[in-house]
Amino acid sequence: MELILKQDVENLGFKDDIVKVKNGFGRNFLIPNGLAMLATDSNKKVLTEKIKQSQNKQKEAISDANKIVKKLEKLDLKLKAKSVEGEKLFGSITNSDISKSLSDNGIEVEKKYIQLSSNIKKTGSYSAIIRLHREVSFDFPFEVIKEQK
């Protein structure tokens, strides 16, 4: 089933993307919740016209996203976490922890745009993919260290 997204949907796409999903997901979740509409020929034509009109805004959004990427490149983020024994953490590090730490450093990124490759349950070096725009994403390296008592 082809749908046009009306809003950003985590792990699926951004607003005005044309996505293919399973029929049940589209009919039972996306369309009833107002997150998407069917990608009919007429809706696609309306979408292309809308995209043409908003290209200048897109260029501004891309330049803003690139500015944030430059800030992220300069940032050396070290997340402090409580540890039980050795390298094992008490709990885990999530995308909301990274988002909060970035906002403490003056960079606002919503947690839904931060994607971790796996659960972080040990100290060490990791990376997260931060998707700032449809065309701009950044592989952000960070380190998890023990919280000193």
Half-sphere exposure of 126 (CA within 13 A, CB side): 24
Q: Which pLDDT score, from 0 to 100, does residue 85 have?
A: 77
**Ramachandran region, residue 63 (left: φ > 0; alpha: ψ -120 to 50; beta: rest):** alpha
Q: Is the pLDDT of residue 131 over 70?
A: yes
- What are the chain's domains? 2-53 (3.40.5.10), 65-146 (3.10.430.100)
Q: pTM to 2 decimals?
A: 0.68
Computed over every residue of the chain, the mean pLDDT equals 89
**Between 27 and 52, the higher pLDDT residue:** 27
Summarised one tens digit per residue, pLDDT across range 69-78 is: 998 898 888 9
How does pLDDT run across 1-41, given as a tens digit for each residue? 999 999 988 888 888 889 999 999 999 999 999 999 999 99
Residues 6 or more apart from 68 whose CB is under 8 A from it?
107, 109, 132
Predicted confidence (pLDDT) at residue 149 exceeds the cutoff of 70: no
